[in-house]
Structure 1
Amino acid sequence: MTAELITAVIVDDHAAIAAGVRYWCEQADPPIALVDAGARLADIWTGPGAAADVVIIDLELVPGKPDFGELRGLVNSGRRVVVYSHHTDNATAIKCLDLGALAYLTKREGPEHLIPAIRAAARGMPYPAPPPSGADDAPSRPRLSPREVEVLRAWFASMSKELVAAKLHITVKTVDTHITRARVKYANVGRAARTKSDLVTRALDDGVITLTELNQAAL
Structure 2
Amino acid sequence: MSTNDAAGSTRPAAGPERPIRVGILDEHVLLLDSMESWIADNAPEFEVVVRAETWVDLVRSENFPTALVLMDDAPAETVPLEARIRTCRAAGARVVVMSAHDPEGARARALAAGALAYLSKSDSIQTFHAVAREAMGLDGAGAPVESGDAVASVDTSDFVRPKLSPGELEALRLYATGNTTAAVARLMNVKYETAKTYLRRVREKYAKANRPASRRAELITRAAEDGYL
- Structure 2 length-normalised TM: 0.47
Q: Which structure has greater helix proportion?
A: 1
- Superposition TM-score, scaled by structure 1 size: 0.49
Higher RCO (CA 8 Å, separation ≥ 6 residues):
2
